[in-house]
Structure 1
Amino acid sequence: MFTISTLILYLGAAVLLILIPGPDLIFAVTQGITNGRKAGVYTAAGLALGNTVHTLAAALGLSIIVQTSPVLFTIFKIAGALYLFNLAYKSLKHRKAPLMVGSGEKKGEMALLRKGLIMNILNPKVAIFFLTFLPQFVNYGYGLVPLQMIVLGLIFIVLTALIFGLFAYFAGAFSSRFLEKPRMQEGANIAAGIIFVALGVKLLATSP
């Protein structure tokens, strides 16, 4: 279904993008600091599980686009590439913007899991990201596009749970050494900008 090189490229891009300091990661770390390690891990799990909805939506959406019309697929490619280029622009423009860990709400673990789940599901930016990111690594010659998208999505979900969970569990050390270090933030944002540009170019070159 996937070549080794494709999987390695996908895993590398996924890990780097998950590591970009953003609202979800900050939220998980905040809960780890204020409510304890267990709460942070539950929050990370909720945020990761929300991606299952976006994976299924992206798989169904791409399948319909591919089967419906070559023109529609071309429009999707152009729109998706422009979105990725916009993400790259924002990452580079705001590469030095500080990201501070704020105070978290005191809630039970299951309540935090539900909040993380709902936060992720209701975030339209995540839905758009999945629809533009996952297709880069689909082998259209193999067929079974929805299944490939689901497998890629599940890999991303597992990686998100692991990385967010580790940050939340070791919240104090990670937040001080990574999230609040200007140079590390700037480096992460620059790397993100480069990845988004590369993905946008790759999407434009994709053919069903």
Structure 2
Amino acid sequence: MSLEFLITSFIIVASPGTGALYTLAAGLSRGSRASVVAAFGCTLGCVPHLAAAILGLAALLHASAVAFETVKYLGVAYLLYMAWSTLRERGALSVGRQSDARSFVQVTIEAILINLLNPKLSIFFLAFLPQFVSTDEAQPLPHMLMLSAVFMLMTFVVFAAYGLFAAAMRDHVISRPSVMTWMRRTFAGAFVLLGARLALTER
């Protein structure tokens, strides 16, 4: 495994996006355990995209405008729903002192959907992973699976770190209603902007 792959993967994972934003929001609103659950859910949401890239199914999204647009606008709609839920103080992003098993399941499902409904991830992995597999490799599949596993582990660790940092700031935030209102509006606005960016993306 090359150092170039590790550095490139870290830059990609650490860059702000929907998964990182959701994990931060979960940490602020529900605490440290919820932030780790959110990081795990976002990581699981990458699995179908990695599998599609390895199996070549991502080429379908790249070739079919209908398939790409369908998944894309489902993702846009979901991000707008997340923005609305955030503003309405409902769902997994509602502030609570306690987080039960049911809320953790909700956080996991929402985190998975955030990454699952982003068709650009499949196309990204289709273009990204083969760059680090030699063309004369005798068995490229095990190598791609190993790279995928490392990428997912890095995703979980970085997102969990984001979430735990947010959770550490939680008491300072939720004890100030005006700050919490500002943060809620900020997260809602960020979800809307990410939805708009997704809507404008092309294959």
TM-score by length of 1: 0.58
What value does the CA root-mean-square deviation take over the aligned residues? 2.9
- Pair 1:141-2:136 in alignment: yes
**Cα distance change of structure 1 residues 10 and 36 upon mapping to structure 2, 3 Å threshold:** same
List structure 1 segments (4+ residues) > 4 angstroms apart after TM superposition: 172-175
Unpaired stretches in structure 2, ≥5 consecutive residues: 64-85, 96-101, 171-203
Q: Name the counterpart of 2:27.
A: 32
Deviations 1:146-166 (A, max 9, x none): 222221111100000000011
AA matched with 1:43: A
Asked whether the equivalents of residues 32 and 167 of structure 2 are also in contact (C-alpha less than 8 Å), the reply is no
Shift of the alpha carbon at 1:115?
Answer: 1.6
AA aligned opposite 1:131:
L
The one-letter amino acid of 1:33's match is L
Between the aligned partners of 2:14 and 2:169, the Cα distance in structure 1 is: 12
TM-score where L is the length of structure 2:
0.59
1:1-208 to 2 correspondences below 5 Å? 2=1, 7-61=2-56, 104-105=93-94, 108-171=103-166
Question: Contact between 1:59 and 1:146, CA under 8 Å: does it hold in 2?
Answer: yes
- The 8 Å contact of residues 31 and 167 in structure 2, kept in 1 or not, is answered as no
1:103-132 Cα distance to aligned partner (Å, 9 max, x none): 723571122112211221221011111111
Q: Distance in 2 between matches of 1:158 and 1:105?
A: 28
Q: Which amino acid aligns with 1:141?
A: D
- Count of equivalent residues: 136
Counterpart secondary structure, 2:33:
helix
Cα displacement (A) at 1:174: 8.2
Unmatched 5+ stretches in structure 1: 66-74, 77-100, 176-208
